[in-house]
């Protein structure tokens, strides 16, 4: 059984793959405060106990982290909790796998995992759209390597930025309104941000395809990919576990 861990700016996602499927899937809040070590140690050990996970079945652990200040800390906690050395995704791993990554110290390891996973599925040039804290578009060429990335603020990030600078804004549900003519504050923000993101995704995919190949497929992933029903038809696949699968493939290919 392989354990894959993806540390994002908002959430830490952990999965245990039994060789056929993700038998266990957990999501924790990303914490970077002084008590992060205690928080993660307790939470992860509790998850192991609650799921009755047999540690003797764990064959490997791999970690992707875009939050540098807790990368090493989490590697130590995972090593102790799962009783396995942890493979940390980064330039050294790319070299070992002979996987070419442009500016490997700059690109997010989660985006590389997305690319690695997407090429396994498509075996051709494609685009991965990740709806996370950031909205990212990772384009692969026909060899499976990253051709380039476009990054925009994520949906929740945009909403948070708006509410933090505006007094008395209500909590906004992530629901796409039928009309962009907002009749009250909540409706107006939903219209502007959510319909605006529909436009961002459509326009960027069109622009990417005009530069690369008008027929390349697109795959959606990320915790918020399911809220954009208006653009489901743009993707050949929507898979929230795409990143974890990429991490698993990397570990299996070592």
Active site residues: 110
Following DSSP, what letter does each residue of 91-138 receive, concatenated?
HHHHHHHT---SSTTTS-HHHHHHHHHHHHHHSS-EEEEEESSEEEEE
Q: How far is Cα of residue 201 from the mean position of the Cα atoms in its chain?
A: 16
Distance of alpha carbon 238 from alpha carbon 17, whole angstroms = 19
Taking every pair of Cα atoms in the chain, the longest distance, rounded to a whole number of angstroms, is 58
List own/partner pairs for 32-37 with CB under 8 A and 24 or more apart.
32/67, 32/69, 32/70, 36/70, 36/73, 37/73, 37/77
At 216, is the secondary structure helix, strand, or coil?
coil
The continuous run of DSSP H or E covering 15 comes out as: strand 11-17
Give 85: exposed, middle or buried? Use CB within 10 Å, 0-12, 13-18, 19+. Answer: exposed
Residue 225 DSSP label: G
């Amino acid at each position: 059984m392989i354990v894959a861990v993806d540390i994002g700016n908002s959430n830490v996602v952990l999965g245990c793959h039994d060789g056929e499927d993700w038998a266990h899937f957990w999501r924790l809040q990303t914490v970077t405060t002084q008590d992060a070590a205690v928080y993660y140690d307790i939470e992860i050990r509790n998850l192991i106990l609650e799921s009755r996970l047999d540690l003797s079945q764990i064959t490997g652990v791999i970690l992707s982290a875009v939050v540098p200040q807790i990368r090493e800390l989490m590697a130590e906690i995972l090593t102790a909790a799962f009783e396995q050395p942890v493979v940390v995704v980064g330039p050294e791993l790319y070299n070992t796998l002979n996987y070419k990554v442009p500016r490997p110290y700059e690109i997010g390891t989660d985006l590389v995992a997305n690319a690695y996973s997407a090429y396994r599925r498509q075996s051709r040039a494609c685009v991965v759209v990740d709806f996370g804290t950031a909205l990212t578009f990772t384009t692969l060429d026909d060899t499976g390597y990253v051709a380039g990335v476009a990054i925009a603020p994520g949906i929740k990030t945009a909403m948070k930025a708006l509410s933090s600078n505006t007094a008395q804004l209500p909590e906004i549900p992530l629901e796409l309104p039928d009309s962009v003519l907002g009749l009250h504050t909540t409706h107006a923000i939903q219209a502007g941000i959510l319909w605006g993101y529909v436009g961002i995704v459509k326009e960027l995919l069109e622009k990417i395809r005009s530069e690369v190949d008008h027929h390349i497929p697109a795959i959606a992933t990320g915790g918020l990919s399911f809220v954009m029903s208006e653009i489901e038809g743009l993707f050949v696949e929507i898979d929230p576990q795409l990143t974890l699968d990429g991490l698993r493939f990397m570990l299996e290919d070592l």
